[in-house]
Amino acid sequence: MRGMSAAPPDTPNPLRAFIGVFRYSRRALELVWTTSRPLTVALGILTLLAGAVPAAVAWVGAQIVDAVVAAIAAGGIDGTLVVEFVVLEGVLVAVIAAAQRGLSLCQSLLRAQLGQRVNVMILDKALTLDLDQFEDSEFYDKLTRARREASSRPLSLVMRTFGLAQNAVSLVSFAILLAAFSPWAVVVLFAAGLPAFIAETKFSGDAFRLFRWRAPETRMQMYLETVIAREDYAKEVKLFGLGPRLLDRYRAIFTKLYAEDRALTIRRDLWGFLLGLIATLALYGAYAWIALTAVAGAITLGAMTMYLMLFRQGQSAVSASLSAVGGMYEDNLYLSTLYEYLETPVAARRGDLQQGPNPADGIRFENVSFSYPDSNRPALQDVSLHIRPGTSIALVGENGSGKTTLIKLLTRLYKPTAGRVLLDGLDLEEWDPDTLRQRVGVIFQDFARYQLLVGENVGAGDEPSFDDESRWRDAAAKGQADKFIEELPAGYQTQLGKWFKDGRELSGGQWQKIALSRAFMRLRADVLVLDEPTAAMDAQAESDVFEHFRQLARDRITILISHRFSTVRMADQIAVLDDGRIVEAGTHAELLAQRGRYATLFELQARGYR
């Protein structure tokens, strides 16, 4: 497995790590702002309130104590001022409670909106990607990681950013009040939190690097989950008794990851505790200092109460900021994968021409070679081929000889490594992608089986007619699927697939008839490609279907991949592929006369039928 053995990257310095914490906060805020402005404004106001009011509460607390002391000294008769301050404090505390409630309300509302927004962004991007990007394992990691936490991480980063802002407002207001006692008290308050802060940043960084570095293992775990628990694999997993082995593998990955997690968590908590002790020491040092100052008569009892409260609350604000920063670090790193994914460059929209100079020319492969990304063996080598409109061609060759690859190049799913593919005399690269898509219709051997309505599965062949029932019927009749579809409980409206209640399953042959009908939906396409979609049908049905296609395809090009010579021989032209090269080409009669590979393969199959 690629990437499984990569070493964990080195540790960055704490300052860089700290700055990194805010790298994506701005973008997360933008994301919230564009998702819902009223909610963002509400969050801002409530954050300010929740941050500033605690200092006021501390100040009122001091006033209460001083008023009590003064009232006692005055003979203990008049308590009005004391009561007024108590009422004020009660009101302020209610304000804090309201602000906090409001914050959590905003958070719930944002969670839903933001999760949906990010998921749509991810899926939107997926639609613009090239096929080879899906086959690139590193890219696929990014996509799965981005999807996995799409609904929680951006919100979490936003909430932590606001939480940090709230604590910062509190700390500033505390500092202003504390400075009246001594600027040094302010210094002690912040300095005591610093070591724990640095440790937090470092460990969060470690945690993420672990998370990112182990993506291949996590992906394998997710894959195993799919294989063990999904209906389409269940049949084989059961019959071959693969379950326990796969589950063991799943467990082994967990055990390995857990060991790493445990080591990190223990280290993190141990250091957190030790460095936290420094803060506690500082708190009690300051406590003694403030108390002794009061004893010396330099501050009032009320002021002492206030300073102690400021110190205590200041410290919890510092430690709340600490854990916010730790969490933000992880959220940021998530967002970095998200944005890396969203910013993956997509191939520029290539050509924009809608017509070729020579419409009678059909398809031409000119010295085309192709290697798949990450593969050093060419899948096609120096292939030249000319297919005129109104003719059919059959591609013959062993598995892996390059037939499907040739079709993928023709449909521009991939770009040739060398040489050109032309349609109507114009390089495919110069064609407008939408026009090209309308002109070429392909049914692959691994065609998609959508868990949608039966009719929609047919309609998928021609997007504008996706839900046009009369077109479905027409196409299904040509693809010989009409009979069994009409016998289904809801006819064309029958839901397919086990994921849904009452979803029906189709047999392999029935699915192939659906796929063929899908091809017949493409009345406008003038190049039709059938890549072995008929393998599960009997020989007679296959040749009937092909005959159908030929009649339909009077001025079109039909390309057929099949292992059945009874069908292949009906094509106007036959090309034999071997190891990525065209080794023979001609009509059935010509190739038999050549007594080459085609003739041998034909004889072999014919003997089987005798």
Residues that bind ligand ADP (CB under 6 A): 135, 372, 375, 379, 397, 399-405
Closer of 8 and 400 to ligand ADP (Cβ): 400
CB of 406 to ligand ADP, least distance (A): 7
Closer of 376 and 551 to ligand ADP (Cβ): 376
CB of 565 to ligand ADP, least distance (A): 16
CB of 399 to ligand ADP, least distance (A): 4
Q: Which of 193, 381, 207 is nearest to 286 (CA)?
A: 193
Closer of 352 and 446 to ligand ADP (Cβ): 446
Closer of 374 and 547 to ligand ADP (Cβ): 374
CB of 391 to ligand ADP, least distance (A): 21
DSSP 571: S
CB of 133 to ligand ADP, least distance (A): 12
Cβ neighbours of 495 (radius 10 Å): 18
Closer of 354 and 600 to ligand ADP (Cβ): 600
Looking at the DSSP bridge assignments, the partners of residue 574 are: 394, 586
CB of 140 to ligand ADP, least distance (A): 13
Closer of 166 and 404 to ligand ADP (Cβ): 404
Closer of 214 and 412 to ligand ADP (Cβ): 412
What is the spatial distance between Cα 226 and Cα 238, in angstroms, rounded to a whole number? 14
DSSP state letters, 209-253: HHHHHTHHHHHHHHHHHHHHH-HHHHHHHHHTT-HHHHHHHHHHH
CB of 351 to ligand ADP, least distance (A): 24
Contact 346, 543 (CB under 8 A): no
Closer of 253 and 535 to ligand ADP (Cβ): 535
Residue 372 Cα to chain centre, angstroms? 24
Closer of 211 and 372 to ligand ADP (Cβ): 372
Cβ neighbours of 46 (radius 10 Å): 21
CB of 476 to ligand ADP, least distance (A): 27
End-to-end CA distance of the chain: 47
CB of 527 to ligand ADP, least distance (A): 18
Name residue, tokens 């004391």.
82
- Report the relative pairing of strands 363-370 and 418-423 from DSSP bridges: antiparallel
Name residue, tokens 């040509």.
478
DSSP 491: G
Looking at the DSSP bridge assignments, the partners of residue 224 are: none
Q: At what angle do helices 137-148 and 301-342 cross, to 10 degrees?
A: 140
Cα dihedral 357, 360, 363, 366, rounded to 10, equals -60
Closer of 249 and 597 to ligand ADP (Cβ): 597
CB of 576 to ligand ADP, least distance (A): 11
CB of 411 to ligand ADP, least distance (A): 13
CB of 519 to ligand ADP, least distance (A): 18
Closer of 85 and 414 to ligand ADP (Cβ): 414
Sheet containing 426-427: order of strands: 380-387, 363-370, 418-423, 426-427
Residue 128 Cα to chain centre, angstroms? 13
Query: What is the radius of gyration, based on Cα positions, of the chain?
Result: 36
Closer of 21 and 591 to ligand ADP (Cβ): 591
Q: Which of 348, 402, 342 is nearest to 372 (CA)?
A: 402
Looking at the DSSP bridge assignments, the partners of residue 394 are: 560, 574
Name residue, tokens 């394992």.
137
Long-range contacts of 545-552 (CB under 8 A, 24+ apart): 545/479, 545/480, 545/516, 546/570, 548/478, 549/392, 549/519, 550/392, 552/478, 552/520
